[in-house]
Amino acid sequence: MGNRAAGKSSAGNSILGREEFDLKTSAQCVRRHGEVADRHITVIEAPGWMINYTVEDSPELLKQEIVLSVSLCPPGPHAVLLIIRVDTRFKETEREVVQGHLDLLGERVWSHTIVLVTRGDSLSDTSIEQYIESEGQNLQRLLDKCGNRYHVLNNQNRSDHTQIKELLEKIEETVAQNNGCHFEIDRKILQEMKERRRAEEERARERMKRMKKQKDNIRSQMSDAQHLSELRIVLMGYRDAGKSSAGNSILGREEFDLKTSAQCVRRHGEVADRHITVIEAPGWMINYTVEKSPELLKQEILLSVSLCPPGPHAVLLIIRVDTRFKETEREVLQGHLDLLGERVWSHTIVLFTCGDSLSDTSIEQYIESEGQNLQWLVEKCGNRYHVLNNQNRSDHTQIKELLEKIEETVAQNNRCHFEIDRKILQKMKERRRAEEERAKERMKRMKKQKDNIRSQMSDARHLSELRIVLMGYKLAGKSSEGNSILGREEFDLKRSAQCVRRHGEVADRHVGTDIMFSTIRTGATTLRSRSCWRRLRRQWHKTTAAILK
């Protein structure tokens, strides 16, 4: 067990002494056998979780597979090897993520768990104990939880059979510590999960039948004349959902920059005998309601559907398949799409990205396992959905099928494209023009102000020392700004309840930067450090006196 890219497959191959596990991501448990050091070895590799996703954020299918994994080697595993890479920092967030996922198996699993540290070659002459002590309390707390059972593995040195022999001996010692018993999950937990999985698989089969029937009905009503020579598409979704990658997959080449953009981006291409126009709208923050999103973002969402006149044939709503779709995401998503009016839903297709993480699992099973929030969304979009594997660009079938689904969507809408209410669009454009005019005036004033100040300054006013205080709410970016000013990583990105002071030489000046305490707005502003405030006030009086002098 472990996060993705921790090295589970490589560890399994090292244990069995041959290439048994595929290094590609799998959504299902994989079981392999072998004879090693006069023992019959069964190895189960459970799917990995995302390194920064809590158990609440992980998809239901992943959590089910973790629970199932320990039942695939009956009567139960002698040990659970928790894989951790030695070449990355083990932080508090990773510890919480690891603990959350293993706790799915119950508290007793920890007495059967060994921490297996991979990438041992990167340690060189450093001992694993020295590494553990240098990593600090997060890794040490995890090891304490596992009864201080650990082993280091160099996957690059398969010829060293000693490391595998020692690992197997440690597993036997773990069994002895547990009175000769293997780990066995609570039967109720396993039974409930299996029953739930069977019900989901049944519903998934029913969904597939309904979708096939729906497609056949639409296709039977479509003539060859309804094969569109032009398709206009708008991509929408939260940041990091995979909109740019989806756009590149649709057009078959790298047209969209993967960096975040604050403006809509339009690209064109010829795909499957059609002229395709793709608009990528800026993404919203995954946990920000529409009320919290910046006005500029909301304006761009409204503008997006006007950038492919007379309007898009379909809006593709991008959702990652490798994360949990919760109630908050549903509310956020609905709020942003509702900016375009209720009619947009009849032109919307849910496009699932990161399809490679599903492996052999059908998209229907994923939808059924995720529960009512995702099912509500799919229903809201008229049960129109498609899954995309952005890692497999050579599979042109998935794009061909997507374009066919867009044509079916057009047919369902009486061959009409989506068109936003002109009053909404006109009002937004007028507002933007007024804002742009005011912005130009502001720029002129700022330039004039700067020129006036500079004209009154002499070369002697170039200060050899600058003292700066950074203030703001939590997560505003104070630490990052401090690091940018000083040109190096001086401020820890973790939250601090005390002021932090750092110094540096920047542009021929000695710069001293203080990060003040964070403030939390709960109706009234709360100051978390009176001493910080007093120091700031004293410094302010000194600075004011110097300016007046």
> What's the average model confidence in pLDDT over 206-219?
90
Per-residue confidence (pLDDT) for residue 314, from 0 to 100: 97
Per-residue confidence (pLDDT) for residue 490, from 0 to 100: 87
Q: Tens digits of per-residue pLDDT, 64-102? A: 999 999 999 999 999 999 999 988 889 999 999 999 999
> What's the average model confidence in pLDDT over 266-270?
96
**Cis before residue 312, ω within 30 degrees of 0?**
no
Going by the DSSP 8-state scheme, the letter that residue 236 receives in this structure is E
**Cis before residue 77, ω within 30 degrees of 0?**
no
> What's the average model confidence in pLDDT over 365-379?
94
Per-residue confidence (pLDDT) for residue 381, from 0 to 100: 96
Per-residue confidence (pLDDT) for residue 523, from 0 to 100: 38
More confident residue, 525 or 218: 218
Please check the confidence at residue 255 and state whether its pLDDT lies above 50: yes
The token pair at 293 is: 């999103």
Per-residue confidence (pLDDT) for residue 459, from 0 to 100: 63
Per-residue confidence (pLDDT) for residue 522, from 0 to 100: 37
* Contacts with 466 (C-beta within 8 Å, 6 or more apart), sequence order: 509, 510, 511, 512
Least confident of 117-131, 403-417, 519-533: 519-533
**Residue 477 pLDDT grade (very low, low, confident, very high; cuts 50, 70, 90):** confident
Percent of the chain with pLDDT over 70: 92
Identify the CA nearest to 344 among candidates 352, 333, 354.
333
CA 333/CA 410 separation, integer angstroms: 23
CA 278/CA 232 separation, integer angstroms: 6
Type and span of the H or E element at 3:
none
Say if pTM beats, i.e. exceeds, 0.75.
yes
Q: Tens digits of per-residue pLDDT, 11-51? A: 999 999 999 998 877 889 999 999 999 999 999 999 999 99
Per-residue confidence (pLDDT) for residue 359, from 0 to 100: 80
Per-residue confidence (pLDDT) for residue 400, from 0 to 100: 94
**Residue 425 pLDDT grade (very low, low, confident, very high; cuts 50, 70, 90):** confident
CA 236/CA 305 separation, integer angstroms: 10
> What's the average model confidence in pLDDT over 356-382?
92
> What's the average model confidence in pLDDT over 262-290?
94
Least confident of 228-237, 257-266, 513-522: 513-522
**Whole-number average pLDDT of the chain:** 88
- The owner of tokens 């304006």 is 299
Label residue 246 exposed, middle or buried (CB < 10 Å: 0-12, 13-18, 19+): buried
* Contacts with 522 (C-beta within 8 Å, 6 or more apart), sequence order: none
> What's the average model confidence in pLDDT over 205-220?
90
Most confident of 222-231, 325-334, 523-532: 325-334
Please check the confidence at residue 548 and state whether its pLDDT lies above 70: no
Please check the confidence at residue 283 and state whether its pLDDT lies above 70: yes
**Residue 454 pLDDT grade (very low, low, confident, very high; cuts 50, 70, 90):** confident
Least confident of 169-173, 176-180, 258-262, 293-297: 258-262
Please check the confidence at residue 520 and state whether its pLDDT lies above 50: no
**Residue 305 pLDDT grade (very low, low, confident, very high; cuts 50, 70, 90):** very high
**Residue 524 pLDDT grade (very low, low, confident, very high; cuts 50, 70, 90):** very low
Per-residue confidence (pLDDT) for residue 121, from 0 to 100: 82
Least confident of 265-269, 357-361, 528-532: 528-532
> What's the average model confidence in pLDDT over 468-485?
89
Please check the confidence at residue 436 and state whether its pLDDT lies above 70: yes
Domains and CATH numbers, the chain: 8-185 (3.40.50.300), 228-420 (3.40.50.300), 464-549 (no CATH)
Per-residue confidence (pLDDT) for residue 519, from 0 to 100: 44
CA 157/CA 23 separation, integer angstroms: 17
> What's the average model confidence in pLDDT over 506-517?
75
Per-residue confidence (pLDDT) for residue 529, from 0 to 100: 46
Please report, for residues 31, 64, 229, 375, the alpha-carbon distance to residue 195 in angstroms, rounded to integers and kept in the order given.
22, 11, 48, 20
**Residue 542 pLDDT grade (very low, low, confident, very high; cuts 50, 70, 90):** low
Please check the confidence at residue 527 and state whether its pLDDT lies above 50: no
